[in-house]
């Protein structure tokens, strides 16, 4: 019968036979799937797995440093690439959501391509594809799919020649988490909410600037930390904040302010295809709102998104 431990053992044995002394390159995202896939491959071939983790400047506050530490803790051979400027330059002036996605996808390919050329003689591309991705890539046609395939690294021009190794191809998300647990991957990786490839760029409505990214990172960190501190993080499927392209009037002392509005979003879901807005306690929302307005300069209003999917999507762009 299937157990996470037997799956892991069997999979490592098969990977050893399949990969031999070959080198494998793999892009990591900080997410559950790529982390578990990389750990399996690492157990099979050790230092012949070269992981690449890119800072696109659109991650959560401190995310790059923290995730890089976790990877090193797992013994992974991981190269962290600071490509923030390259992404900001590519995004300059873009306001259309799909144009932003395309710019990010293309920049990721360029950055990954350049990094992977530094690994001489790589024969394989590792991927964290899971069963629903296999199904989705043949059945779903939508604007985010092209980018998804970019982010799934398989579409990289210079890597078309590489063979693909996908140890999680037959698993669902829960199975991936169980296998990860049996490999002692820490909860801060396994229990992570999903986070979109284009990151905060699709949560900043309109054009992206470094200042806006900083504001949203602060807001998001307050919200996410509060969810964790209140034991609510594991009860919602995904959460985050949107920076809106409107200003609203507020009052501080005897002064009128005219500053930014943020929307908080938290949903319950099974697979992200449908979702309900999370009925977070009013007291919790009140505390988070106060903390944001008191601590984040430039924000004077917080609203909570009470739309479900469909017809609303989880992200605002
Ligand atoms: P929506 O907004 O379509 O989101 O309800 C459903 C799930 O997909 C994530 N998402 C993306 N992930 N690239 C990604 O890798 C994207 O362009 C993208 N757009 C949405 C979203 O965060 C949610 O988990």
- Does the pTM surpass 0.80? The reply is yes
> pLDDT-derived band of residue 42, with 50, 70 and 90 as boundaries?
very high
| 288 in the same domain as 172 | no
Q: Which residue has the tokens 């797992």?
A: 74
Q: Is the pLDDT of residue 144 over 80?
A: no
In this structure, the chain runs to a length of: 317
Count of structural domains within the chain: 2
Q: Is the pLDDT of residue 140 over 50?
A: no
Q: From 168, 190, 212, give the residue that closes a domain.
A: 190
Q: Is the CB of 34 under 6 A from ligand 1?
A: no
| 127 in the same domain as 61 | yes
| 166 in the same domain as 226 | no
Taking CA atoms only, the protein residue closest to ligand 1 atom 18 is 196
| 133 in the same domain as 9 | yes
| 43 in the same domain as 186 | yes
> pLDDT-derived band of residue 141, with 50, 70 and 90 as boundaries?
very low
ipTM of the prediction: 0.99
**In angstroms, what is the span from residue 315 Cα to ligand 1's centroid?**
7
Q: Are 159 and 116 in contact (CB under 8 A)?
A: yes
Closest atom, ligand 1, to C-alpha of 275:
5
Task: Give the mean pLDDT of 47-62.
Answer: 97
Its domain, for residue 96, covers 4-190
The pLDDT tens digits for 232-289 are 999 999 999 999 999 999 998 899 999 999 999 999 999 899 999 999 999 999 999 9
- Residue 241: what pLDDT? 98
Answer yes or no: is 197 within a domain.
no
The pLDDT tens digits for 70-82 are 999 999 999 999 9
**In angstroms, what is the span from residue 144 Cα to ligand 1's centroid?**
7
**Buried-exposed string 206-236: b where 16+ CB fall within 10 A, e elsewhere:** bebeeebbebbbbbbbbbbebbeeeebbeeb
Instruction: Return the best residue to mutate from 30, 315, 316 for the ligand 1 pocket (most ligand atoms within 8 A of CB).
Output: 315
Task: Give the mean pLDDT of 31-36.
Answer: 96
Q: Is the CB of 194 under 6 A from ligand 1?
A: yes
Q: Is the CB of 192 under 6 A from ligand 1?
A: no
- Residue 13: what pLDDT? 98
**In angstroms, what is the span from residue 58 Cα to ligand 1's centroid?**
14
Q: Are 196 and 59 in contact (CB under 8 A)?
A: no
Answer yes or no: is 317 within a domain.
no
To 5 degrees, how large is the angle CA 174–CA 35–CA 162?
A: 115
**In angstroms, what is the span from residue 161 Cα to ligand 1's centroid?**
29
- Residue 155: what pLDDT? 46
The pLDDT tens digits for 55-98 are 999 999 999 999 999 999 999 999 999 999 999 999 999 999 99
Q: What is the CATH number of the domain that holds 54?
A: 3.40.50.620
Of 111-115, 157-161, 180-184, the range with the lowest mean pLDDT is: 157-161
- C-alpha to C-alpha distance for 258 and 251, rounded to whole angstroms: 8
| 235 in the same domain as 161 | no
* Residues 6+ positions from 128 with CB-CB distance below 8 Å: 29, 31, 33, 34, 35, 36, 37, 38, 166, 168
- Residue 84: what pLDDT? 98
């Amino acid at each position: 019968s299937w157990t996470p431990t037997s799956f892991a053992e069997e999979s490592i044995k098969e990977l050893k036979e399949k990969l031999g002394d070959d080198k494998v390159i793999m892009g990591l995202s900080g997410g559950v799937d790529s982390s578990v896939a990389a750990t399996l491959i690492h157990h099979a071939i050790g230092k012949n797995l070269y992981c690449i983790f890119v800072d696109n400047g659109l991650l959560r506050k401190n995310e790059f440093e923290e995730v890089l530490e976790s990877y090193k803790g797992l013994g992974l051979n991981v190269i962290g690439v600071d490509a923030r400027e390259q992404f900001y330059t590519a995004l300059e002036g873009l306001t259309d959501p799909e144009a932003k996605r395309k710019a990010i996808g293309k920049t990721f390919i360029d950055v990954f391509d350049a990094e992977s050329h530094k690994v001489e003689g790589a024969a394989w591309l590792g991927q964290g594809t899971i069963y629903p991705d296999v199904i989705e890539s043949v059945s779903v046609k939508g604007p985010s799919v092209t980018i998804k395939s970019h982010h799934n690294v398989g579409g990289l021009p210079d890597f078309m020649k590489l063979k693909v190794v996908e140890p999680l191809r037959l698993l669902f998300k829960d199975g991936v988490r169980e296998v990860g647990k049996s490999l002692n991957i820490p909860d801060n990786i396994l229990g992570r909410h999903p986070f979109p490839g284009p990151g905060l760029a699709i949560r900043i409505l309109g054009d992206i600037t470094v200042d806006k990214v900083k504001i949203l990172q602060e807001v998001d960190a307050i919200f996410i930390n509060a969810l964790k501190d209140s034991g609510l993080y594991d009860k919602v499927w995904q959460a985050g904040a949107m920076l809106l392209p409107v200003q609203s009037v507020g009052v501080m002392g005897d002064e009128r302010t005219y500053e930014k509005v943020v929307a908080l979003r938290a949903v319950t879901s099974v697979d992200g295809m449908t979702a309900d807005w999370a009925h977070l306690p009013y007291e919790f929302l009140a505390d988070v709102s106060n903390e944001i307005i008191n601590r984040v300069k430039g924000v004077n209003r917080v609203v909570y998104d009470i739309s479900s999917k469909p017809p609303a999507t989880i992200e605002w762009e």
